[in-house]
Amino acid sequence: MKIAYVLNSYPQPSHSFIRREVQALERQGIAVLRLAMRPGSSPLVDPGDQAEASKTEYVLQMGMLTLLLGLLRQALGAPRGFLQGLSLAMRLGRVSQVGVLRHLIYLAEASYVVARCKAEGVDHIHAHFGTNATAVALLAQALGGPGYSFTTHGPEEFDAPASLSLGEKINRARFAVAISSFGKSQLSRWADFGAWDQLKVVHCGIEPAKFADPAPLPEGPLRLAAIGRFVEQKGQMVLVRAMAEVVQSRPEVQLVLIGDGEMRADLEAAIAAAGLQGNVTLTGWLSEAGVRAELAASHALVMPSFAEGLPMVVMEAMAAARPVLATFIAGTPELVLPGETGWLVPAGDAGILAEAIVELTQVSPECLAAMGALARERVLERHDSDIEAGRLADLFRAACQED
């Protein structure tokens, strides 16, 4: 069996879960053709991401003339499919936030995908995120390409389901994947009732071998790690405000912000304004090994997000035997159990988050270690990359056999 993975930008430091999934599928004997529209926008510091980039074909790098010629060949060789694809692209474009012209570009990209799938003997297309990559997969199917499936992560798909034509993407797919039960419930809002059986849950996975020997908790004052893109939805600004309250009574508490993004300058300004330079450190993007090292040096992960799917960093922290302080949103409560594997607080409330951090300083090392052990047990049971990729592979096989 051969699968084409159709992606927007790949690889990305924040999307290592896709790389792990692809590689786990290959270990199970499934050939994967990687077709990304463009390279990732962030520097690739992890060797695994760098290796993936070398295996990926970038559609837009073919040049618009090549794509248009391919679309013309599609129109001449299969006019009925071309007209169906054109009509669909225009209909999707009219309800979208990016317009018809962008969807005509997606149609040109889809024609290239169809040609590559035919040349490589691809049986099925899979996309990640229900945004433009899935639009390309949908249009490729309309042009006569293989059937498709896609994985939604959230929150982007759930913020604008109508303009993304999320319901139509689900209804036309062989199946659609959510990464949590919460995500599946959101897809159920937009899918036809007749398509509900096509909605599946496949968790994002971690590689247990990379967390085989968790480091003991460090000695010294509380040290927290927060990992993620510096964007509004991740809530780092609320965390900085919470830290400003925390240090008034616990000046020894340390926070490491791992990641980067458009809000970096705002965060640096807020840290300076609150006089937190001695308490908060920004590392930039780190390799997977660097992230594991920061988790090993920390007592817990703090995840202050406003909107999520189910964060990979929560899984990685738990695999490293670190409890998690997170917000009570989306799929997070399916993994973080208050009082057992961590703590949950309302999103967006700096005061309550500060209170939780202060309470965390009073938890004994023995209790933190016990919670970390339970967290590790839970995540390894639910999020092993090979097990989850096996479930996805079974869905691919079943979908292809049915067609």
CA 234/CA 41 separation, integer angstroms: 18
The Cα angle at residue 110 between residues 70 and 57, in degrees rounded to 5: 85
Q: What is the mean pLDDT of residues 314-321?
A: 96
Span 90-99, pLDDT tens digits? 999 999 999 9
Closest CA to 21 of 380, 382, 383, 386: 386
Span 343-392, pLDDT tens digits? 999 999 999 999 999 999 999 999 999 999 999 999 999 999 999 999 99
Q: According to the model, what pLDDT value does residue 402 have?
A: 78
Q: According to the model, what pLDDT value does residue 218 have?
A: 96
Span 215-232, pLDDT tens digits? 999 999 999 999 999 999
Indicate the pTM of the whole model: 0.90
Q: Is the pLDDT of residue 54 over 90?
A: yes
- At residue 43 the predicted structure's pLDDT band, cuts being 50, 70 and 90, is confident
Span 267-298, pLDDT tens digits? 999 999 999 999 999 999 998 889 999 999 99
Span 109-151, pLDDT tens digits? 999 999 999 999 999 999 999 999 999 999 999 999 999 999 9
CA 237 distance to own-chain centroid = 21
Span 378-399, pLDDT tens digits? 999 999 999 999 999 999 999 9
Q: According to the model, what pLDDT value does residue 15 have?
A: 86
Closest CA to 127 of 200, 243, 279, 18: 18
Q: According to the model, what pLDDT value does residue 16 have?
A: 87
Domains in the chain, ordered, with CATH?
Answer: 2-205+384-402 (3.40.50.2000), 208-382 (3.40.50.2000)
Span 238-275, pLDDT tens digits? 999 999 999 999 999 999 999 999 999 999 999 999 99
- At residue 56 the predicted structure's pLDDT band, cuts being 50, 70 and 90, is very high
Q: How many CB atoms lie within 10 A of CB 159?
A: 11
Neighbouring-strand partners of residue 151: 128, 177
